[in-house]
Amino acid sequence: MRLDAAVLAVTQVVVMVVLTPLLIGLMRQVRSRLEGRAGAGIAQPWRDVRKLLAKEVLKAPGTSWVQATGPVVLVASSLVLCALIPLVGTVAFPLIPDDLFVVVGVLLIGTVALALVGLDAGSAFGGMGSSRHMTIAALVEPTVLVAIYALSVPIGSSALSQIVDSRMQSPASIAAPVSLLALVALAIAVIAETSRMPVDNPSTHLELTMVHEAMTLESSGRDLAWLELGSWLRLAALLGLIGALVLPWGLATEITPLTLLIGVVAVTIKLAILGAVLATVEVFLAKLRLFRVPELLAGSFVLALLAVTASYLTVQA
């Protein structure tokens, strides 16, 4: 195991754990200001997690070990995502590569863990949310795979670090039609995967609209804290991936204190910009009806497929 890759992975995990609640707080604050409210402050998610961690866990009758294990698996998979995705730097493990298929597999582990938590209590809300969640995931995961695969075709590698390195060395490829199609498809998939508007409204508990919130209704205390933190980390990691693909500059290609510092500052700025943009867009969007969501995701998959086709045509030309 390379020491520099281990240092980078630990740095990324620590930075994302610190930044993610602040990112969620920033997004909520932006929405509050645009809606004419004062807001609770950027640090409120940190206070919420700290309060939940200090509370006793209450379990519904009939729940099993899944109720306690699922949140831990979700957080663990989210931390692995933060370690594998090139957020601060592009130095990868030789034996555990940041391969596209590995990253999507880890993402799917967290998705299944969250769905099992919703199903375990046997409530109507939990089952409904898990069903919707897995339906969306079945459409999202192929889109993520195909969209990033389109970016990997020109360089002949599915490793995310090599894709980002290539885009850093060839800035013209960022504005290429193939790249734009793939990034739009990936952005739609990320919004759906993380239960954001217009696919889901994270601030509601209405029966007919909620997806993510329905799966966490039977959780409390530490379990709820891990579920919330794990979901936030997934959003931050995927936004960081989009930021690295759109603006690859600032990432550390070799590990020194200065390059790590620059990488941390760069990922902080990218996450703040993307989070503010996402929160702003959400204010002006209405939630889609559930039966219209597959149409949106099918459209994103078509864009990703067009990106792959165009990518092969460009390589052959």
For residues 276-283, average pLDDT: 91
- Residues above pLDDT 70, as percent of the chain: 96
Whole-angstrom distance, CA of residue 75 vs CA of residue 195: 17
Using 50, 70 and 90 to split pLDDT, how confident is the model at 163? very high
Among 190, 158, 188, 102, residue whose Cα is nearest residue 308: 158
pLDDT at 316 exceeding the cut of 80: no
pTM: 0.93
Give pLDDT tens digits for 50-100: 999 999 888 878 788 888 899 999 999 999 999 999 999 998 877 667 888
Question: Lowest-confidence range among 7-16, 17-26, 119-128, 157-166?
Answer: 119-128
Structural domains of the chain, count: 1
Using 50, 70 and 90 to split pLDDT, how confident is the model at 30? very high
Residues 6+ apart with CB under 8 A from 290: 132, 208
Question: What domain range includes position 112?
Answer: 3-316
Which 3 state secondary structure label does DSSP give 200? coil
pLDDT value of residue 180: 92
At position 158, the amino acid (one-letter code) is S
Q: How crowded is residue 56: how many other Cβ atoms within 10 Å of its Cβ? A: 7
How many degrees, rounded to 5, is the angle at CA 247 between CA 149 and CA 283? 95
